[in-house]
Structure formats: C-alpha cells, structure tokens
C-alpha cells in the first residue's frame, strides 16, 4: 500500500503540493516513486522558469521507465532541490521530504482543482 501523506494536495499525475502563503512546494507521491522503481535521474527546470498547470516541467527516470513531471499549478520557479540531481534515489527513500521545486503561485484558484489526501487515496486504489 502506498503512503498518502495527509495535509497535502495531489494531482492525478501523482505530484503533491504543499502551500504556504503564495508559495507551493511540489514533489512526487509515494505511489509514483513505487511505480517507477529505482529512480536514476531527475530532470528539473531552472530557477525563474515558468510553470503552466497540466504542462510538463521535467522528468523522472528509472531503469525501466521514464515519466514526465506534470505541473499541478502555474507559477514561477523560486527554488530547485539541487540535492536530487546527485542522489535521485532520495525520491525512493522519502518522496515527501525530498521535494522537487518551490514555486510562486500565479493563480491560487487552481488549487481547488487538486485532490485532497483522501480523494487521492481513493484515486490510486
């Protein structure tokens, strides 16, 4: 069973979002890392890049699969978790601690379209 952390918002493409003020932290869910298997590469945008909701912004790659990262929100990248580039396996170890990006939200209303933990848990069943 995948661990769905409560208190976070989720997209149907398996990214999680945590919002403080107008800044969102984005990561991938435990379900996503388990489906991928051993992550060997993470491709992330640069600080300052614009994200558009439901558009790809990067990719996660394992030995046998590659998955585009789909942005759950729109906004501008404030910070990138550079540690993941050297140690992509951290995503397998704890996908909720090891976030991918921090983003300044350009449209807070978009959050209402995301799933809460309970709905996401039902979605992945």
Which chain residues interact with other proteins by CB under 8 A? 38, 40-41, 43, 61-66, 68, 88-89
Cβ-in-10-Å burial (0-12, 13-18, 19+) of 107 comes to exposed
Q: Which C-beta is closer to other proteins: that of 37 or that of 113? A: 37
What's the closest the beta carbon of residue 120 comes to other proteins, in angstroms? 23
Could you give the 3-state DSSP secondary structure of residue 110? helix
What's the closest the beta carbon of residue 42 comes to other proteins, in angstroms? 11
Q: Which C-beta is closer to other proteins: that of 2 or that of 18? A: 2
What's the closest the beta carbon of residue 53 comes to other proteins, in angstroms? 20
CA dist., res. 10 & res. 35, Å (int): 16
Handedness of CA 14, 100, 26, 29 (dihedral sign): positive
């Amino acid at each position: 069973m995948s661990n769905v952390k409560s208190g976070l918002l989720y997209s149907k493409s398996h990214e999680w979002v945590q919002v403080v003020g107008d800044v969102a932290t984005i990561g991938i869910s435990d379900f996503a890392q388990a489906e991928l298997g051993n992550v060997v590469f993470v491709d992330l945008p640069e600080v300052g890049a614009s994200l558009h909701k439901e558009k790809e912004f990067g990719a996660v790659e394992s030995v046998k699969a590659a998955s585009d990262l789909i942005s759950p929100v729109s906004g501008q990248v404030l910070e990138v978790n550079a540690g993941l580039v050297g140690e992509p396996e951290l995503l397998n170890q704890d996908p909720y601690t090891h976030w991918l990006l921090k983003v300044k939200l350009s449209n807070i209303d978009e959050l209402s379209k995301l799933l809460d933990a309970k709905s996401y848990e039902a979605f992945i069943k």
